[in-house]
Amino acid sequence: MLSSHNIEINPKHWVEHGREELIGIIKHELCHYHLHLEGKGYKHRDHDFRKLLAEVGAPRFCTPIQKLRTPNTIHLYKCGTCSQKYERKRRMDTKKYVCGKCGGKIQKVG
Ligand SMILES: [Zn+2]
Ligand SMILES: [Zn+2]
């Protein structure tokens, strides 16, 4: 899960998991981070990684964080008059916007 040197801790963990578990998750992430910086094996299957996890007493998996990440939802809109479709990454206010083609009213589809 480590694509850059950023450590992502989802604040939801504070609510949904206990403090102990969060500390474990942070330790786990730091193991990735540390080995990545050192140029050693930082992936779950790597020997260096497993060894370091055992040394610091961190849990073996970090999947809960990935699961909790909010998916990139696409909002679909349609013009009620000419049926022109619009895709937006963010929710848009259908009262404020009108169709760019015909000026008709925009409706939310999905
Ligand atoms: Zn991990
Ligand atoms: Zn239209």
Tell me if 40 sits within 8 A of 48, measured CB to CB: yes
Alpha carbon of 62 to ligand 1 centroid (Å): 4
SS (HEC) of the chain: CCCCCCCCCCCHHHHHCCHHHHHHHHHHHHHHHHHHHHCCCCCCCCHHHHHHHHHHCCCCCCHHHHHHCCCCCCEEEEECCCCCEEEECCCCCCCCCECCCCCCEEEECC
- Name which residue leads in pLDDT, 34 or 18: 34
Alpha carbon of 103 to ligand 2 centroid (Å): 6
Alpha carbon of 100 to ligand 2 centroid (Å): 7
Name the pTM for this structure: 0.44
Q: What is the C-alpha separation between 50 and 92, in angstroms, rounded?
A: 46
Catalytic residue list: 29
Ligand nearest to the CA of 83: 2
Ligand nearest to the CA of 60: 1
Is the pLDDT confidence value at 110 over 60? yes
Dump pLDDT digits (tens) for 55-90. 999 988 775 544 445 556 788 999 999 999 998 888
Alpha carbon of 70 to ligand 2 centroid (Å): 31
Tell me if 52 sits within 8 A of 41, measured CB to CB: no
Share of the chain above pLDDT 90, in %: 51
Over the chain, what is the mean pLDDT?
A: 82
Ligand nearest to the CA of 99: 2
- What pLDDT does residue 61 have? 76
